[in-house]
Amino acid sequence: MSSETLRAAREVRTGLRGKAAEEWLRSVARPGLAARAVIYVVLGLLAAMIVADGRPPAQASGSGALAEIARQPAGPFLLGLLSAGLLCYAAWRLAQGIAGVDPAEPGRPGVWRRAGWLATAGVYLLLFADALSLLVGAGASGGAATHPQGAAATVLTWPGGTVVLGAAGAALAAGAVGLGTWGCLHDYGRVLDTARAPSWAQAASRVSGTVGNLARACLLALVASYTLLAAVDDAPSREKSLDQSLEAVLHSPAGPWWIALAAAGLVSFAAYSAIEACYRRV
């Protein structure tokens, strides 16, 4: 067989593998983004219920959202669908982090971007594990997100524990600043398939994405502030989870209004996730 024929055969095989990979990424990315939208809708509702009830009805976190879904009629069925979506999202981000490819973004992503994708994959794998534990009746996995004081108390017993906890709080604060800045400057329409996405979806993605990421940044900054307080005062009781932080805000001046804005921001990010699920280039 001539060298030209061998080269042509290799190109065909490479093309087929590329097409198969693209189809696989689409098959996991869109359900994953839809699952992310559901999680943030429930988080927004939990935050709104804090305003209505004066206390969190369930943990305002990913695990708490899953537990709230499990308590609804047809909860196991819905949780099963959602767990599949969470696994899809984790697989998509894991593939992006390993391959370093995102069709929606020009150029090859840097190390930090790929590390962020891998970290996101880890978070959603944990949520998938929580969903499975709820399905089999084992309950939420708990841990630092459910009992932050216990985690802070453990860290503060370590040599240099206050420094470690302070560094964690500073990292959360830096993440909040970075997320807020990126949320304001990011070109949301760039990740959409403009040939398919109608003009209203492109405009809505910019508004909902900006508002949603700013809300997420503010909530992350809120948790970071309590982590830093726990480190500065060497008092694990100062550490608060997201739902506890929102409950504390509720009793401050204009607290209900701030939480209502946070709830609206979370639902806004859910809307952005839904638009991505329909029109993102993957």
Per-residue pLDDT of the chain (282 residues; tens, 9 = 90+): 445 544 544 444 444 345 666 777 888 999 999 999 999 999 999 888 887 776 655 566 677 788 888 888 888 899 999 999 999 999 999 988 888 877 776 667 788 888 989 999 999 999 999 899 888 875 444 444 445 666 777 888 888 889 999 999 999 999 999 999 999 999 998 889 988 999 999 999 999 999 999 999 999 999 999 999 999 998 888 888 787 888 888 888 888 999 999 999 999 999 999 999 999 987
CA–CA separation, 108 and 264 (whole Å): 34
b/e 189-226 (16+ beta carbons within 10 angstroms → b): bebbeeeebeeebbebbeebbbbbbbbbbbbbbbbbbb
Position 178, amino acid: G
Residue 280 dihedral angles phi and psi, to the nearest 5°: -65, 145
Angle (CA) 122 161 230, round 5°? 85
Q: Which has the closest alpha carbon to 65: 78, 53, 74, 52?
A: 78
DSSP 8-state secondary structure symbol assigned to residue 108? -
CA–CA separation, 211 and 217 (whole Å): 10
Residue 18 has a pLDDT of 59
Residue 236 has a pLDDT of 84
Residue 275 has a pLDDT of 97
For tokens 């608060």, name the residue.
240
CB 190 within 8 A of CB 276: no
DSSP 8-state secondary structure symbol assigned to residue 192? B
